[in-house]
Amino acid sequence: MIKHILYFEWKNIKRSKIVIWTAVILSLLIFLSIHTGNLAVKNQLDDIKKIKQEEKERHEKLLTDIEKVDAGEKKVNAYTNPKTPYMVGGKYGSYDIFKEPEELSFISMGQSDFFPYHYRISVRNRQLYSFLAGDDRMENPLNQQNSNFDLAFVLIWLLPLFVITFSYNILSSEKEFGTLKLLKASSVSITKILLAKILLRFIIITSITTVSILLLFYLYGVNISDNISGISKLFLFICAYTLFWFLISAIVNLFSKSSIVNAGIMFAVWLLLIITVPAILNIVSNYKYPVATRIEYVNFIREATYEIDNNSDKVLDEYFLSHPELGTRKSKNMPFWVYKNALKNKIIKDVSGNFVNHRNSQFNKQIEFINNFKYLSPAIVMQQALDKISGNSTSDFLKFQAEADECNDKWRMYFFPKILRDELMSKNDVLNLPKYR
Amino acid sequence: MLWLIAQKELKEIIRQGVLKILILTVLVLLLVSLVISFSYNRYIDSLHNKSEKESREMWDKQGDKNQHSAAHYGLYLLKPKSSSALWDNGLDRYTGAAIFIEPHVRNNTMFKAVQDSPMLAKWGEFTPSFIMLYILPLLILWITFNIVSKEREQGTYRLLKSQGVSSLKWIAGKTSAVWIITILLIVPVFLTAGIIFGKGAFFTVESFLLLLTYLLYAGIFIHIGIAVSALTKKSEISIIFLVGFWVLTTWVIPKITSSITQNIYPSPLESEFKKNIRDEIYKNGILRHDINHKNTIAFTKKVLEEYNVNDVSELPFNFNGYILQAAEDTNNIIFDRHYAELHKLYKKQTNVYTVSGLFSPFILARQLSMGLCKTDLWSHINFTKATDEYRKLFIKTINEDLIKSPYKPNQRFIRSNDLWENIPKFKYKLPGLKLFSEHYKYVYAIYLLWFLVSAGILLFTSKKIKF
């Protein structure tokens, strides 16, 4: 009996053209999103290439300048001497680290809109923590506000709407056509019939989605076998997410109101779970665990470094007295503020620990809070899963930030004694610089 | 007759339990968002005021110092919040609010608020404009989707027909009823919120243009909703079509526009942008600290010749200050040109949004809403330009003081601390209607066109439909 019902259902669906329309629109949206996602990743890769090229030119210039100075071809002063540790660790010898996009990054641009994917390791950095650094691109904020049209958006926001239009009237239409009575008269229970009908629709929607995604992955040259775990996770999540929405549909259908009320209720659920709950969680997490804004941090630092900024000589002298290993204070090779800033940065690092820890802990509490309540909205669960697959999740970027901070600290501390001792560096020193990371 | 139909329709809407709940929900959401927005703005405003004051106090009490060292100590300036930002926080979370003032360089604004809580930032902010532009249209669609088709489904239109009502009057009556509900929902809240939260600055042209913008936006959805309801045979088809329209115009088109914009007019990398400026300064500007640079040598030579002396120490003024200011004057032109080009690029990008506004009234409404609340891109650029004008004045005042100070080779002059306090404070006045009309006159024109076309479609439909 159920076989019969399914067979006629399939014929019905086929004739109503709804399958064709769903397939056409959905695969078109998927195509568009994969295309724009790929363009965004390509732009990122181009940026990285440009920065790397610039880095290479910088390093080459440093070496040739040192050769010229050694040969007496170039006249230099304290501001321009390439052999000072300040120039080697800063303007010319600084190096760049990247969070390179992964092969599946185009699925979800995720947090890459808000976190930089590049950081310069340099003694010149005014911002000693990567969370203070700005973006890589001087992006028009209008673009950031609207974010990207990526596959994650299509799957999370739009796919449920297709499920709704495809299934809001499974039972109610039978009722409205008067065929429900015939079904009720059959030997199979209504619940079973409903589940069978839903299962059929679930198979249709997921097949359209997965087939078009797979086809486009192939066309865009994604190496399927290399990314098999990511891709299978993707499909698993698509199935689970689609199933969730069909379940909502089954429940709504069981209450067997009119088609209109069904459509209204299901859309209201969409509105609640996908738009409202995340927006409210966002506000609550912000109110509950406000992250100290970076403006407050700047004021705090200015307060803490008041002494060295305004009594630099005295503070430097005192530091040399308490650190005899640095020898006597000399400051000839570089401008005065280089010595001052080297010590100032050390002081900032020493005093800002508590502030930064507090900020990080508030930040983590926010994340934890959202993670605890994310099950209220399948959209958040899905977004996080897709971000993870594409390597654009919050934790990916926080990890990169921590790495950047570690490299930067090591690099700065490598040059710190050299600057205070007023050393000059040779070509050989430059070639043997440590590379952190 | 028209009024009778409207009355009947109003009664029907009010008697529907579901609709009553929905209208109340939207009203509550609107009020909650107003309170949240007000307290957020007040918090940001006090934080910014406090920070700017602290930064200035540190500057004032920095003690005896060389003028140029003091200039490098610098100042932080912060963007004030306009009281109309109550309705729309616009791009403020994406632009950053702090800017550091120092010699030699024009800096970008720092510290985007969105980076302090990026996790759910994609879901947008719960501001009054979010309710007005995302949620209110849905309420209107829910009221209108079956307003005509249900009479057809229930057969009640025959009764009306027998009364000799023309289809035009019939639809006009229904339209007026929905308009009355919408106006009753928006206008009182808008006026009350403006008077309570507006801090006296509420009665401006901008406020009323903003109200008009929201009303027109609601109007577009009223007209389209009723027209679709009249044109479709079944209410189900009508609701699917209308929700599709809403999703397409408020979610899909803006995002696609963003992706298109980023690809046809890519924004520069910050490092690249700065490098281009540096390279040009190296070529055509004056590098104060590189005394062996050809431009520095040429400039020094020119000054020496002009005053007919052999060494800079013989000049009647402090040469250090003189060349610092000359470098500012020359290099600022280069900075200004590069920033002007960047802003031109932003304008081109924004124009793409205006064009896609032809397909999505939401894009236009949001731009106008941000523009009127002074939280848009152009208000932000207006602020950065003001800070840069201030920077130029700030550095010039300091350099001129240095020029008057005695010059000793290889020794820094130390200035007593009374100068710092005497430098004028930064005062920023929010841009007026002129900036808005400069950037949004075409946007508003297209927006009005949307409204007129939607009204035209409704009129055409109501004449054409068969009873």
Q: What is the pLDDT of residues B408-450, one digit of tens each?
A: 777 778 888 888 888 999 999 888 899 999 999 999 999 999 9
What is the bridge-based pairing of β-strands B75-78 and A118-121? Answer: unpaired
Residue A149 and residue B353: Cβ atoms within 8 Å?
A: no
B75, containing H or E segment? strand B75-78
Q: By CB neighbour count within 10 A (0-12 exposed, 13-18 middle, 19+ buried), where does B301 fall?
A: exposed
Please state at what angle helix A336-373 crosses helix A394-420, rounded to 10 degrees.
Answer: 160
* Residue B285 confidence (pLDDT) above 80: yes
In chain A, positions 33-72, which contact chain B (CB-CB < 8 Å)? 36, 39-40, 43, 47, 50-51, 54
* pLDDT level of residue B81 (50, 70, 90 thresholds): confident
* pLDDT level of residue B158 (50, 70, 90 thresholds): confident
C-alpha dihedral, B381 to B385 to B387 to B388, nearest 10°:
140
- For B113, residues 6+ apart whose C-beta sits below 8 A from its C-beta are A293, B44, B92, B93, B96, B97
* Token pair listed for A398: 């926080």
Residue A139 and residue B267: Cβ atoms within 8 Å?
A: yes
Of A36, A141, A260, the CB nearest to B146: A260
* pLDDT level of residue B365 (50, 70, 90 thresholds): very high
> What is the per-residue pLDDT across B390-407, written as a single tens digit (0 to 9) for each?
999 999 999 999 888 888
* pLDDT level of residue A37 (50, 70, 90 thresholds): very high
Backbone angles phi, psi at A323, to 5 degrees: -125, 75
> What is the per-residue pLDDT across A188-211, written as a single tens digit (0 to 9) for each?
787 888 888 889 999 999 999 999
Interchain contact A370–B (C-beta under 8 A) = yes
* Residue A104 confidence (pLDDT) above 60: yes
Residue A43 and residue B266: Cβ atoms within 8 Å?
A: yes
Half-sphere exposure at residue B168, Cβ-oriented, CA atoms within 13 angstroms: 5
Task: For residue A159, give the nearest of B125, B123, B251, B138 by alpha carbon.
Answer: B251
Task: For residue B374, give the nearest of B139, B161, B217, B206 by alpha carbon.
Answer: B206
Interchain contact A73–B (C-beta under 8 A) = no
Q: What is the DSSP letter of B65?
A: B
Q: How far is CA B376 from the centre of its chain?
A: 1
Could you tell me which chain A residue has the CA closest to the CA of B267? A139
Q: What is the mean pLDDT of residues A51-62?
A: 92
Q: B152-166, B249-263, B293-307: lowest mean pLDDT where? A: B152-166
Q: What is d(CA A27, CA A209) in angstroms, rounded to the nearest whole number? A: 7
Q: What is d(CA B137, CA B366) in angstroms, rounded to the nearest whole number? A: 13
A205, A166 Cβ separation under 8 angstroms: yes
* Token pair listed for B292: 């062996």
- DSSP-based three-state secondary structure for B182: helix
Beta bridge partners of B269: A137
How much of chain B exceeds pLDDT 70, in percent? 99
Q: What is the mean pLDDT of residues A230-255?
A: 93
Residue A143 and residue B267: Cβ atoms within 8 Å?
A: yes
Task: Give how many domains chain B has, as a whole number.
Answer: 1
* Residue B467 confidence (pLDDT) above 70: no
Of B121, B124, B251, the CB nearest to A114: B121
Task: For residue A18, give the nearest of A153, A149, A150, A170 by alpha carbon.
Answer: A170
Residue B267 and residue A282: Cβ atoms within 8 Å?
A: no
Q: Examine the predicted complex and report whether its ipTM is higher than 0.85.
A: yes
Q: How far is CA A130 from the centre of its chain?
A: 15
A-interface mutation test, from B95, B119, B148, most A Cβ less than 10 A away: B119
Could you tell me which chain A residue has the CA closest to the CA of B37? A283
Could you tell me which chain A residue has the CA closest to the CA of B288? A79
* Token pair listed for A123: 């003694």
* Token pair listed for B366: 């949001």
What does the pLDDT read at residue A290?
79
Label residues A160-197 b or e (16+ Cβ within 10 Å = b).
Answer: bbbbbbbbbbbbbbbbeeeebeebeeeeeebeebbbbb
Q: What is the mean pLDDT of chain A?
A: 88
Q: Which residues of B touch A153 (CB under 8 A)?
A: 251, 255
Q: What is d(CA A363, CA A21) in angstroms, rounded to the nearest whole number? A: 45
* pLDDT level of residue B388 (50, 70, 90 thresholds): very high
Residue A148 and residue B259: Cβ atoms within 8 Å?
A: yes
Cα separations in angstroms, A126 against A129, A175, B332? 9, 70, 22
* Residue A398 confidence (pLDDT) above 80: yes
Please state at what angle helix A190-219 crosses helix A18-70, rounded to 10 degrees.
Answer: 40
B223, B455 Cβ separation under 8 angstroms: yes
Q: What is the mean pLDDT of residues B360-381?
A: 94
Beta bridge partners of A237: none
Beta bridge partners of A434: none
Residue B116 and residue A296: Cβ atoms within 8 Å?
A: no
* pLDDT level of residue B210 (50, 70, 90 thresholds): very high
* Residue B336 confidence (pLDDT) above 60: yes
Domain holding B283, by residue range, is 2-464
Interchain contact A141–B (C-beta under 8 A) = yes
Q: What is the residue whose two structure tokens read 């020029």?
A: B403
**CB-defined contacts A:B, below 8 A:** 221
Could you tell me which chain A residue has the CA closest to the CA of B123? A279
Q: What is the mean pLDDT of residues A280-300?
A: 82
In chain A, positions 372-401, which contact chain B (CB-CB < 8 Å)? 380, 383, 394
* Token pair listed for A206: 């997921």
Q: What is d(CA B358, CA B249) in angstroms, rounded to the nearest whole number? A: 10
Q: What is d(CA B354, CA A96) in angstroms, rounded to the nearest whole number? A: 38
- For A59, residues 6+ apart whose C-beta sits below 8 A from its C-beta are A92, A93, A95
Q: Which residues of B touch A264 (CB under 8 A)?
A: 18, 142, 239
Beta bridge partners of B101: B75
Task: For residue B230, give the nearest of B187, B296, B174, B287 by alpha carbon.
Answer: B174
What does the pLDDT read at residue B381?
95
Q: What is d(CA A344, CA B6) in angstroms, rounded to the nearest whole number? A: 73
Q: What is d(CA B113, CA B97) in angstroms, rounded to the nearest whole number? A: 8
Q: Which residues of B touch A114 (CB under 8 A)?
A: 112, 114-115, 118, 121
Of B114, B275, B289, the CB nearest to A54: B275
Q: How far is the alpha carbon of A294 from chain B, nearest alpha carbon, in Å? A: 6
Of B98, B266, B270, the CB nearest to A135: B270
Of B267, B289, B350, the CB nearest to A138: B267
* Residue B279 confidence (pLDDT) above 70: yes
- For B295, residues 6+ apart whose C-beta sits below 8 A from its C-beta are B284, B285, B286, B287
Backbone angles phi, psi at A389, to 5 degrees: -60, -40
Residue B239 and residue A264: Cβ atoms within 8 Å?
A: yes
Q: Where are the alpha helices (DSSP H) in B232-358?
A: 235-247, 253-264, 270-284, 294-307, 319-356
Return the HEC string of chain A. Answer: CHHHHHHHHHHHHHHCCHHHHHHHHHHHHHHHHHHHHHHHHHHHHHHHHHHHHHHHHHHHHHHHHHHHHHCCCCCCCCCCCCCCHHHHHCCCCCEEEECCCCCCHHHCCHHHHCCCCEEEECCCCCCCCHHHCCCCECCCHHHHHHCCCCHHHHHHHHHHHHHHHHHCCCCHHHHHHCCHHHHHHCCCCHHHHHHHHHHHHHHHHHHHHHHHHHHHHHHCCCCCCCCHHHHHHHHHHHHHHHHHHHHHHHHHHHCCCCHHHHHHHHHHHHHHHHHHHHHHHHHHHHHHCCCCCHHHHHHHHHHHCHHHHHCHHHHHHHHHHHCHHHCCCCCCCCCHHHHHHHHHHHHHHHHHHHHHHHHHHHHHHHHHHHHHHHHHCHHHHHHHHHHHHCCCCHHHHHHHHHHHHHHHHHHHHHHHHHHHCCCCCCHHHHHCCCCCC
Residue A263 and residue B240: Cβ atoms within 8 Å?
A: yes
Q: Which residues of B touch A271 (CB under 8 A)?
A: 138
Residue B78 and residue A43: Cβ atoms within 8 Å?
A: no
What does the pLDDT read at residue A2?
72
* Residue B140 confidence (pLDDT) above 90: yes
- For A144, residues 6+ apart whose C-beta sits below 8 A from its C-beta are A113, A114, B94, B114
Residue B116 and residue A291: Cβ atoms within 8 Å?
A: yes
Cα separations in angstroms, B404 against B316, B326, B408? 9, 15, 13
Q: What is the mean pLDDT of residues A120-133?
A: 85
Interchain contact A356–B (C-beta under 8 A) = no
What does the pLDDT read at residue B466?
67
Q: Which residues of A touch B252 (CB under 8 A)?
A: 29, 149, 158
Q: By CB neighbour count within 10 A (0-12 exposed, 13-18 middle, 19+ buried), where does A203 fall?
A: exposed
> What is the per-residue pLDDT across A128-180, written as a single tens digit (0 to 9) for each?
888 888 777 889 999 999 988 999 999 999 999 999 988 888 877 777 777 77
Residue A165 and residue B240: Cβ atoms within 8 Å?
A: yes
Q: By CB neighbour count within 10 A (0-12 exposed, 13-18 middle, 19+ buried), where does B338 fall?
A: middle
B123, A374 Cβ separation under 8 angstroms: no
Q: What is the mean pLDDT of residues B341-354?
A: 96
Q: Which residues of B touch A149 (CB under 8 A)?
A: 252, 255-256, 258-259
Interchain contact A267–B (C-beta under 8 A) = yes
What does the pLDDT read at residue A304?
85
A-interface mutation test, from B32, B123, B411, most A Cβ less than 10 A away: B123
Residue A142 and residue B263: Cβ atoms within 8 Å?
A: no
Q: A336-350, B8-22, B138-152, B184-198: lowest mean pLDDT where? A: B8-22
In degrees, rounded to 5, the angle at the alpha carbon of residue A242 between the alpha carbons of residues A239 and A248 is 135
**Ranges A186-195, B215-224, B312-321, most confident:** B215-224
Residue A134 and residue B96: Cβ atoms within 8 Å?
A: yes
Residue A80 and residue B289: Cβ atoms within 8 Å?
A: yes
Residue with the larger pLDDT of the pair B152 and B365: B365
Q: Which residues of A touch B48 (CB under 8 A)?
A: 295
What is the bridge-based pairing of β-strands B98-101 and A118-121? Answer: unpaired
Interchain contact A176–B (C-beta under 8 A) = no
B-interface mutation test, from A31, A132, A146, most B Cβ less than 10 A away: A146
In degrees, rounded to 5, the angle at the alpha carbon of residue A325 between the alpha carbons of residues A321 and A331 is 65
**Ranges A119-123, A290-294, B156-160, most confident:** A119-123
Q: What is the residue whose two structure tokens read 């808005």?
A: B436
Q: How far is the alpha carbon of A1 from chain B, nearest alpha carbon, in Å? A: 30
Interchain contact A149–B (C-beta under 8 A) = yes
Could you tell me which chain A residue has the CA closest to the CA of B90? A145
